[in-house]
């Protein structure tokens, strides 16, 4: 790997040097800006651009990122890449020390020796180097570390440095007695005490004893399209059961999902002979029958199942377009003593929320709070931020009722608000800890600090009463926080898009205890890499600040003009820029820039983490896709930087970005000249119901036959196309079925428009970074926007 990285560095440096030498050799000065349009690009140009992809640059960063593995007593270890290899570090907060977790040289020698004793006679021994140990994780047990390597479990004493094998490791990571691995088994969810796991079999929920392997059904009346704990939102399909174990590991909250009568989606795989049909439930906006869930609680102690006394709930979440968000069922919370459960019910259109408390013995469900909004309700800007606090008879509620995402303290019995906890301009993004004894909340937030990027996350503490809000991470950067088990300490990794990360250990007051790592990007810089340039422009209203990143050729000549390309993902659940952390590459943005373009990412109005009014800017008009902001933003950049050629504008994106790209080519045909649209949900009437009905509203038909969804359907505007458009889709895309793109193709044909189209057989939703798609994307912009001939049939090195 090191030699490969070294080769990349040499390639980039040599290429940059060649460009510099060519520039020096120009006979006469350039007196006016000229279009940067070479006649052709060759394989060396593409190879150089490839060097700026993330998979080629990531290994050039050293001492970056601390992911703590906590040990008793608040100590922790982490693994970090250094110039000599991977090193394991042990940190002791009490002593404020940072040191090697063990003697890497002695451990490598001891392990190699022990491994050699197991090698059959006549076979060569494998010798491991100190900073090339064959494991990434280990367990710390007194003076012994335990890890898996070479198909076996190992225990190494780090006082006398002797290693012994603890037996072969099965495919699920367990050692010893030949237990079956999880290969071929249904996914499971483990109980908090680790003794039992549940899984789905034949539409029913089953439980398995982890030690004995004994299995038994928890439900028996599950049926086709009416199964227990199943997760199928249409676009999302998973066999992992949707359950929430009680803290005492004796009860399970789940549901019976009713999809009887729900419409289906069909895709066929491509193969020799008859095609294979895949069919599953996929409700659409406007369908009279969609997925609902009947909530139940299962008591494992007596085997009873209690069905909550309420009508079926919509298959909805208060935060995303599936009942599962970020891998968790956040809208259900148990009481600490496992005697009661709180949950949210979300209306089909996401405009109403009900907080309910369930009596798990009787099944009675009491409504504590109802909140209604005119557009869409969300319970968090980055996580589900309501909390059930039965011990004190309270709950914490998240609301954007004053145009910002804030926390409120409520009385659990009366449902009355006691006080607002956070206030002012800014949003709570994620509650990380609630200290019930001290009545304090630790949370991440954005926008609270003046004169800073409003997308930078900081860490705060505030009292339940809303007083004493304290900033715990003072640096002007984006902070990623990992709390210790007792929450007495936290690891803070902070960076910005253009400054590398720093990691420190702090105490609960925010005081720095130990400097952990400071990223070394010297090898990146030696390779010719440059960070993206943050910028700010005004939105469509000419007053709201918008934030973005610009990627320029590292050999930019300010005396020439470069075409500008917009890399777009419009939201509404996120934006184009994504994380404000330092990132060596954001897709292929910098790689495309190296081919002779300016590439930008800009978060327009209608994206989250700003005010509520900012987020709902184009509610009910998803075809807006932030495009008015993208256009004015690029125009402002062109006025600011004379080397941007605003007469040569391109755009590309995937999924929602594919939708926005095609919309840009149809709604702004004189501005956008070239577009590459991948896997777009071009008409949300043929996309899953939850998405469209949250952001566009429930489908309504008018007397003339039109609907409130007509303005968002790209095919209705296909006749406007003037530029060059490449459409692409995977034929087995279960997220956005390819019929959405076929609607656009059909309309373009009817309008007698020229366009290009690639179908990827048997591909799902994620084909966008396949080497072939990436090469075709590059070729399309080089040929039609740069006006040059791309290298013929270039083979991406990353695929070799």
Over the stretch 730-742, which tens digit does the pLDDT of each residue have? 999 999 999 999 9
Give the end-to-end CA distance of the chain in Å, rounded to a whole number. 15
Q: Mean pLDDT over all residues of the chain?
A: 92
Task: Report the alpha-carbon distance of residue 486 to residue 256 in Å, rounded.
Answer: 37
Give the pLDDT of residue 24.
Answer: 34
Q: Which pLDDT score is estimated for 141?
A: 84
- The owner of tokens 């359907």 is 713
Can you give the pLDDT at residue 326? 80
User: Looking at the DSSP assignment, which residues form a beta bridge with residue 223?
Assistant: 226
Q: What is the tens place of the pLDDT at every residue in 479-504?
A: 999 999 999 999 999 999 999 999 99
pLDDT of residue 21: 33
Cα(410)–Cα(179) distance, rounded to whole angstroms? 49
Same-domain status, 81 and 50: no
pLDDT 10s digits, 519-569: 999 999 999 999 999 999 999 999 999 999 999 999 999 999 999 999 999
Residue 47 and residue 95 share a domain:
no
Percent of the chain with pLDDT over 70: 93
pLDDT at 125: 82
470 within a domain of the structure (yes/no): no
Q: Specify whether 33 is located in the same domain as 162.
A: no
pLDDT at 142 over 90: no
84 and 37, same domain (yes or no): no
Q: Among residues 538, 450, 444, which one has the least CA distance to residue 494?
A: 444
- Residue 187, in any domain of the structure: no
Q: What is the pLDDT of residues 424-465, one digit of tens each?
A: 999 999 999 999 999 999 999 999 999 999 999 999 999 999
Which CATH number fits the domain that encloses residue 543? 3.40.50.1820
Are residues 604 and 614 in contact, defined by beta-carbon separation less than 8 angstroms? Answer: no
pLDDT at 798: 59
Q: Residue 14's pLDDT band (boundaries 50, 70, 90)?
A: very low
Write down how long the chain is. 800
Q: Is residue 684 part of a domain?
A: yes
Q: Indicate whether 23 and 164 sit together in one domain.
A: no
Q: Would residue 780 count as lying in a domain?
A: yes
| Residue 627, pLDDT above cutoff 90 | yes
Count of structural domains, the chain: 2
Mean per-residue pLDDT, 248-254: 97
**Mean local confidence (pLDDT), 34-59:** 88
Token pair listed for 385? 């931020």
pLDDT for 182 equals: 46
Given 168, 196, 214, which residue is the final one in a domain? 168
For residues 595 and 688, state if they share a domain: yes
Taking alpha carbons only, the member of 510, 457, 462, 454 closest to residue 483 is 510
What does the pLDDT read at residue 12? 37
265 touches 234 (CB < 8 A): yes
Q: Which residue has the tokens 């020229």?
A: 754
Same domain, 601 and 722: yes
Helix (H, G, I), strand (E, B) or coil at 533: strand
Task: Report yes or no: 360 and 341 within 8 Å, Cβ to Cβ.
Answer: yes
Structure tokens at 66: 């601390």
Residue 242 has pLDDT above 70, yes or no: yes
Do 674 and 784 reside in the same domain of the chain? yes
Residue 257 DSSP SS3: strand
Residue-wise pLDDT tens digits, 83-140: 999 999 999 999 999 999 999 999 999 999 999 988 887 778 889 999 999 999 999 9
Residue 696 has a pLDDT of: 97
Domain assignment present for 300: no
Q: Which domain holds residue 545?
A: 2-61+523-794
Instruction: Indicate whether 57 belongs to any domain.
Output: yes
- Whether the model clears a pTM of 0.85, i.e. scores above it, the answer is yes
pLDDT band for position 162 (cuts 50, 70, 90): very high
Domain endpoint, select from 134, 168, 202: 168
Residue 411 lies in a domain: no
The pLDDT confidence band at residue 166, using thresholds 50, 70 and 90, is: confident
Q: Taking residues 778-792, what's their average pLDDT?
A: 98
Per the CB < 8 A criterion, the answer to whether 528 and 12 are in contact is yes
* Angle between helix 627-640 and helix 656-667 axes, rounded to 10 deg: 70
Q: Which residues, including other chains, have CB under 8 Å from residue 36's CB and lie 6 or more apart?
A: 557, 560, 561, 562, 563, 596, 645, 786
Domain match, 679 and 554 both: yes
pLDDT value, residue 170: 59
Q: Which residues contact 564 (CB under 8 A, 6 or more apart)?
A: 597, 598, 599, 600, 634, 637, 638, 644, 645, 646, 648, 649, 650
DSSP string, 345-368: EE-TTS-EEEEEEEETTT-BEEEE
Same domain, 533 and 642: yes
pLDDT band (50, 70, 90) for residue 33 = low
Cα 177 from Cα 734, distance rounded (Å): 40
Q: Which long-range contacts (CB under 8 A, 24 or more apart) does 170-176 make?
A: 173/148
Token digits of residue 754: 């020229």
The answer as to whether 493 is a domain residue is: no
Asked if residues 387 and 333 have their Cβ atoms less than 8 Å apart, the reply is yes
- Give yes or no for residue 750 having a pLDDT over 90: yes
What span, in angstroms and rounded, lies between the C-alpha atoms of 133 and 136? Answer: 8
For residue 251 the two structure tokens come to 């009860």
Are residue 590 and residue 734 in the same domain, yes or no? Answer: yes
Per-residue pLDDT, 255 = 97
pLDDT at residue 7, rounded to an integer: 37
90 and 151 assigned to the same domain: yes
In this structure, the number of other CB atoms found within 10 A of the CB of residue 396 comes to 19
Query: Can you name the residues that pair with 267 across neighbouring β-strands?
Result: 278
Q: Which of 131, 152, 168 is the last residue before a domain boundary?
A: 168
The model's confidence at residue 36, banded by pLDDT at 50, 70 and 90, is: low
């Amino acid at each position: 790997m090191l030699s490969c990285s070294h080769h990349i560095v040499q390639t980039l440096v040599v290429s940059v040097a060649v460009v510099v030498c060519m520039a020096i050799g120009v006979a006469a000065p350039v007196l006016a800006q000229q279009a940067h349009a070479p006649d052709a690009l060759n394989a060396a140009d593409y190879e150089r651009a490839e060097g700026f992809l993330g998979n080629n640059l990531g290994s050039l960063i050293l001492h970056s990122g601390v992911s703590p593995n906590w040990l008793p007593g608040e100590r922790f270890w982490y693994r970090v890449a250094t110039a000599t290899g991977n090193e394991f570090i042990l940190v002791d907060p009490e002593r404020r020390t940072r040191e090697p977790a063990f003697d890497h040289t002695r451990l490598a020698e001891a392990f190699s020796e022990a491994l050699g004793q197991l090698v059959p006679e006549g076979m060569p021994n494998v010798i491991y180097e100190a900073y090339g140990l064959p494991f990434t994780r280990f367990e710390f047990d007194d003076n012994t570390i335990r890890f898996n390597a070479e198909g076996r479990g190992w225990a190494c004493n780090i006082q006398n440095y002797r290693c012994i094998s603890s037996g072969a490791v099965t495919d699920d990571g367990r050692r010893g007695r030949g237990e079956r691995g999880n290969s071929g088994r249904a996914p499971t969810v483990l109980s908090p005490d680790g003794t039992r796991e549940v899984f789905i079999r034949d539409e029913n929920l089953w439980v398995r004893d982890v030690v004995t392997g004994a299995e038994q059904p928890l439900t028996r009346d599950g049926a086709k399209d009416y199964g227990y704990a199943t997760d199928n939102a249409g676009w999302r399909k998973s066999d992992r059961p949707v359950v929430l174990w009680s803290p005492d590991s004796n009860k399970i909250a789940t549901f019976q999902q009713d999809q009887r009568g729900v419409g289906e989606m069909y895709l066929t795989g491509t193969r020799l002979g008859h095609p294979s049909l895949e069919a599953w439930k996929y409700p659409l906006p406007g369908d009279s029958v969609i997925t609902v869930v009947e909530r139940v609680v299962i008591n494992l102690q007596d085997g009873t199942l209690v069905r909550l006394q309420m009508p079926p709930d919509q298959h909805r979440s208060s935060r995303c377009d599936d009942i599962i968000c970020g891998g968790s069922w956040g809208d259900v919370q148990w009481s600490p003593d496992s005697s009661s459960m709180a949950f949210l019910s979300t209306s089909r259109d996401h405009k109403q929320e009900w907080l309910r408390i369930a009596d798990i013995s009787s099944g009675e469900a009491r409504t504590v709070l109802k909140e209604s909004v005119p557009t869409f309700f969300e319970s968090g800007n980055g996580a589900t931020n309501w909390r059930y606090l039965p011990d004190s008879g309270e709950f914490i509620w998240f609301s954007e009722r004053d145009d910002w995402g804030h926390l409120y303290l409520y009385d659990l019995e009366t449902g009355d608000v006691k006080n607002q906890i956070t206030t002012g301009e800014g949003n709570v993004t994620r509650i990380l800890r609630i200290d019930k004894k001290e009545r304090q909340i630790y949370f991440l937030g954005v926008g609270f600090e003046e004169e800073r990027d409003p997308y930078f996350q900081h860490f705060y503490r505030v009292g339940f009463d809303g007083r004493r809000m304290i900033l715990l991470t003072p640096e002007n950067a984006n902070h990623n926080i990992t709390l210790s088990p007792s929450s007495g300490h936290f690891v803070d990794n902070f960076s910005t898009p253009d400054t590398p990360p720093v990691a420190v250990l702090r105490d609960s007051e925010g005081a720095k205890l130990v400097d952990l790592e400071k990223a070394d990007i010297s090898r990146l810089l030696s390779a010719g890499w440059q960070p993206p340039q943050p910028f700010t422009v005004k939105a469509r209203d000419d007053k709201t600040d918008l934030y973005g990143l610009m990627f320029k050729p590292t050999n930019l000549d300010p005396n020439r003009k470069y075409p500008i390309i917009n890399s777009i993902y419009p939201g509404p659940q996120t934006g184009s820029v994504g994380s404000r952390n330092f990132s060596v590459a954001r897709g292929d943005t910098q790689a495309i820039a190296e081919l002779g373009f300016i590439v930008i990412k800009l978060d327009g109005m209608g994206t989250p983490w700003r005010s509520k009014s900012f987020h709902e800017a184009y509610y009910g008009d998803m075809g807006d896709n932030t495009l008015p902001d993208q256009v004015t933003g690029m125009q402002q950049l062109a006025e600011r930087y004379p080397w941007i050629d605003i007469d040569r504008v391109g755009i590309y994106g995937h999924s929602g970005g594919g939708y926005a790209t095609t919309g840009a080519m149809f709604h702004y045909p004189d501005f956008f000249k070239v577009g590459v649209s991948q896997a777009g949900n071009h008409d949300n009437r043929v996309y899953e119901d939850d998405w469209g009905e949250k952001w566009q509203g429930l489908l309504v038909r008018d007397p003339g036959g039109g609907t409130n969804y007509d303005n968002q359907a790209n095919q209705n505007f296909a006749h406007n196309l003037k530029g060059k458009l490449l459409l692409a889709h995977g034929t087995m895309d279960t997220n956005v079925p390819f019929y959405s793109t076929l609607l656009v193709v059909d309309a373009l044909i009817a309008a007698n428009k020229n366009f290009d189209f690639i179908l990827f057989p048997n591909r799902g939703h994620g084909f966008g970074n396949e080497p072939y798609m990436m090469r075709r994307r590059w070729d399309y912009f080089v040929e039609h926007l740069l006006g040059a001939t791309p290298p013929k049939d270039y083979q991406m090195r990353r695929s070799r």
